[in-house]
Amino acid sequence: MRNVLYSSYPISLDKYLNIEEKKFKEVDDEMIRASSKVPTLKIGRGSNGQLQFIENGQYSWEVIPLVNSFYGAPDLYRRRTWNNYAVLFPKLVEFVENLPIEGLGRASILKVPAGFSAPPHIDPQFHPTSPPVPEYDRIINISFGHKKYLYMLDSMTKQRYYFEGRINWLDVSDWHGVEPSFVDTYTLKLDVKLNSKIRNQIREEYGL
């Protein structure tokens, strides 16, 4: 299989990791239960049409930061520590610390309410006016419960290419979005790099 979108083709990591389904269920239950105890940041389109934090009115998704870092920080992979909210998610923390990654960069819970979508977008670190992001090599997005309809968008043909797994290796420097679901979806976004073993496996299979 060759990459339709070159370096941003959707790749899921499930087949490399073989994690038990019950582990995902445990974290999903915890996220749904504990998220209601934490204030969220809301992201939607502002009056200028750009995605931004929304104080009041329509929004597309909610964010719970689990490390202390501002949204859109260019240093994606700088090592960080869990914040005070993370103590409410011990199963999530354990899950992350057992992943084949190099340290903890940023970590955020993303909630897309039922019936809502995350419109196609490129993350703010990669906008033309933003400073360069050194050594960028994608991020990880994990669906623990109902798998949200996450896709990459071909900006020329407008065709959508969907991620098939739970643990997805996502290129946020290219166009991506989430289609509406019939239930609230909770996922974890990790701005981290894969360790050399799994990174080499991907390179051998996909040529990336």
Domains of the chain, first to last: 6-206 (2.60.120.330)
Task: Give the per-residue pLDDT at 1.
Answer: 40
Reported as a single tens digit per residue, the pLDDT across 2-36 is 456 888 999 999 999 999 999 999 999 999 999 88
Reported as a single tens digit per residue, the pLDDT across 103-118 is 889 899 988 888 888 8
Task: Give the per-residue pLDDT at 171.
Answer: 96
Confidence of residue 74 (pLDDT cuts 50, 70, 90): confident
Task: Give the per-residue pLDDT at 118.
Answer: 81
Strand ranges inside the chain, DSSP E: 11-12, 41-45, 51-53, 61-65, 106-112, 118-121, 139-143, 149-153, 160-162, 167-170, 176-179, 185-191
Residues 158-182, mean pLDDT to the nearest whole number: 94
Confidence of residue 46 (pLDDT cuts 50, 70, 90): low
pTM over 0.85: yes
Confidence of residue 44 (pLDDT cuts 50, 70, 90): low
Six-digit token string for 145: 């419960």
For residues 62 and 94, the model is more confident at 94
What's the mean per-residue pLDDT of the chain?
87
Residues 128-154, mean pLDDT to the nearest whole number: 92
| Pairwise CA distance, residues 111 & 200, whole Å | 32
SS3 108: strand
